[in-house]
């Protein structure tokens, strides 16, 4: 059965109450990065902001992602996440209430930790992607990720052992990779899935 429909307030309370680890060791990073996990209340409860990268991008072309990117010198994770959202979809930083940080993650193909920054606004805004970085802006209800047949998992051998890859098949997009990992942990917390085991913040470099 599909999970219950939760509003943003419920999601924020659950996520802030979760005991996330301290900041990861970024001493081996080329440059730490942050993404903005932005929630807003729509007609079907809490919705999350996602973007799709254009096919002309050098990396991650056509993938559905959170707004985000690498930190500029002297930036905090929060400042970087808000700046990237402004540059990618025109979201005013002052419109966002930052609620905290989620579990840091590291892509399976490089050494850079990424910090998800949790934020919220009252309702989904009509946002337009910057053509050089975003070709589609999506607001997706969290409930849609819980519908039967949406989630699947594949095991990929990427050169240092097999790793599970999370996929969420929506009506006309597929969310996977790093974004899928962050969403999986977020949904497990919001819907209180027992036995959730996010990776250590000190996992070895690939």
Taking the CB of residue 87, how many other CB atoms lie within 10 A of it? 15
Q: Is the dihedral of CA 111, 80, 117, 53 positive or negative?
A: negative
Contacts of residue 90, defined as CB under 8 A and 6 or more positions apart, other chains included, come to 127, 128, 130
- Cα separation, 123 vs 41, whole angstroms: 5
pLDDT attached to residue 79: 98
Q: C-alpha distances in angstroms, 110 versus 28, 65, 104? A: 10, 17, 14
Instruction: Please check whether residue 128 is in contact with residue 89, taking contact to mean a CB–CB distance below 8 angstroms.
Output: yes
pLDDT attached to residue 202: 45
pTM of the model: 0.91
Contacts of residue 140, defined as CB under 8 A and 6 or more positions apart, other chains included, come to 47, 48, 50, 170
pLDDT attached to residue 121: 98
pLDDT attached to residue 18: 92
Q: Is the dihedral of CA 26, 183, 181, 168 positive or negative?
A: negative
pLDDT attached to residue 106: 83
pLDDT digit of tens for each residue in the chain (206 aa)? 557 899 999 999 999 999 888 888 887 777 889 999 999 999 999 999 999 998 776 666 779 999 999 999 999 999 999 999 999 999 999 999 999 999 998 876 667 889 999 999 999 999 999 988 899 999 999 999 999 999 999 988 766 677 788 899 999 999 998 999 999 999 999 999 887 766 554 444 43
Contacts of residue 109, defined as CB under 8 A and 6 or more positions apart, other chains included, come to 158, 206
- Cα separation, 111 vs 28, whole angstroms: 7
- Cα separation, 60 vs 48, whole angstroms: 20
Tens of pLDDT, residue by residue over 119-134, are 999 999 999 999 888 9
Q: Which CATH superfamily is domain 8-148 in?
A: Nucleoside Triphosphate Pyrophosphohydrolase (3.90.79.10)
Instruction: Please check whether residue 67 is in contact with residue 116, taking contact to mean a CB–CB distance below 8 angstroms.
Output: no
């Amino acid at each position: 059965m599909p999970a219950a429909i939760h509003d943003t307030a419920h999601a924020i309370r659950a996520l802030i109450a979760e005991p996330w680890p301290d900041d990861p060791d970024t001493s081996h990073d080329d440059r730490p990065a942050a993404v903005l996990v932005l929630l807003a209340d729509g007609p079907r409860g809490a919705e999350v902001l996602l973007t799709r990268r254009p096919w002309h991008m050098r990396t991650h072309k056509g993938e559905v992602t959170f707004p985000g990117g690498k930190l500029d010198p002297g930036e905090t994770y929060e400042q970087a996440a808000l700046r990237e959202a402004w540059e990618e979809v025109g979201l005013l930083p002052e419109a966002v209430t930052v609620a905290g940080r989620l579990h840091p993650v590291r892509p399976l193909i490089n050494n850079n930790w990424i910090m998800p920054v949790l934020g919220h606004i009252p309702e989904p805004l009509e946002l337009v992607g910057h053509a050089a970085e975003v070709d589609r802006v999506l607001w997706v209800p969290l409930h849609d990720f819980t519908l039967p047949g949406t989630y699947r998992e594949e095991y990929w051998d990427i050169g240092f052992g097999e790793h599970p890859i999370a996929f969420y098949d929506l009506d006309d997009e597929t969310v996977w990779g790093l974004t899928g990992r962050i969403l999986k942990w977020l949904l497990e917390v919001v819907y209180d899935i027992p036995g959730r085991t996010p990776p250590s913040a000190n996992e070895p470099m690939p």
